[in-house]
Amino acid sequence: MIELVDVVKKYRIGIHEVVALNGVSLSVRDGEFVVIMGPSGSGKSTLLHLIGCLDKPTSGKVIIDGLDTSKLSDRELTELRRDKIGFVFQQYYLIPTLTALENVELPMVFKGVPKEKRHSRAEELLELVGLKGKEDRKPKELSGGEQQRVAIARALANEPSILLCDEPTGNLDTKSGKVVMDIIKRLNVEEGVTVVLVTHDPSLSDYGDRVVRIRDGRIIHAD
């Protein structure tokens, strides 16, 4: 369960103040697939980063599974991200020196999962995203779609209950975009993973149980 209560996020650039989010309240039930849509600069990424505890709101509350994240220490926030949340970014952000398999293992390394176990889990996950046989490739030896699938596998490594996707298909062609979206949808349906996906691509709205529209840092329409 994700709850945002009157969240405001302001950025300061020199003497100017940019209001990226201006009083956003939102709640996402467990197992729900929510698509957040809005034009560029509307505050979608900012919203997702706040949900994912990568950033802190200027005011308002972000509550994850009943935990008020503003009360957590940096260490606790790190553990929350590690154990409960999976991120998928538009730019994949794979570690270039590590193979696909090792990239997937990384969150488990941080969690202290024993080598054997994390190895076999990473293999399973890569198979799940259709990359069996490409475990030992470095990111640059994979296509964009494949890299994004590695990123999804990595996001799932520690069995998170929440998957946060920021324009996951933004850098992909339609076909590989569809492959990625189908994987995400399947995870939501079959594994019950809560998905919050932000995009400005209207064609992705069909995947969601619910679409939330955002503009100028405010939710304008929620159905």
Ligand X SMILES: Nc1ncnc2c1ncn2[C@@H]1O[C@H](COP(=O)(O)OP(=O)(O)OP(=O)(O)O)[C@@H](O)[C@H]1O
Binding residues (CB under 6 A) for ligand X: these are 11, 13, 18, 20, 38, 40-46, 200
Q: Where are the alpha helices (DSSP H) in the chain?
A: 44-51, 74-84, 100-111, 115-128, 144-155, 174-186
Q: Which stretch binds another protein (CB under 8 A): 18-26, 49-57, 193-201, 207-215?
A: 49-57
When CB distances are held under 5 to 8 angstroms depending on the partner's kind, the choice from ligand X, another protein, Mg ion, none that residue 18 binds is ligand X
| 45 lies in the binding site for Mg ion (CB under 5 A) | yes
Strand partners, 174: none
Minimum CB–partner distance for residue 57 and another protein (Å) = 12
Q: What part of residues 77-106 is at the interface with another protein (CB under 8 A)?
A: 78-79, 81-83, 87, 89, 93, 95-98, 102, 105-106
Give the Cα separation of 110 and 54 in Å (integer).
16
Contact 146, 171 (CB under 8 A): no
Phi, psi values for residue 143, rounded to 5°:
-75, 170
When CB distances are held under 5 to 8 angstroms depending on the partner's kind, the choice from another protein, ligand X, Mg ion, none that residue 13 binds is ligand X
Provide the greatest CA pair distance for the chain.
53
When CB distances are held under 5 to 8 angstroms depending on the partner's kind, the choice from another protein, ligand X, Mg ion, none that residue 97 binds is another protein
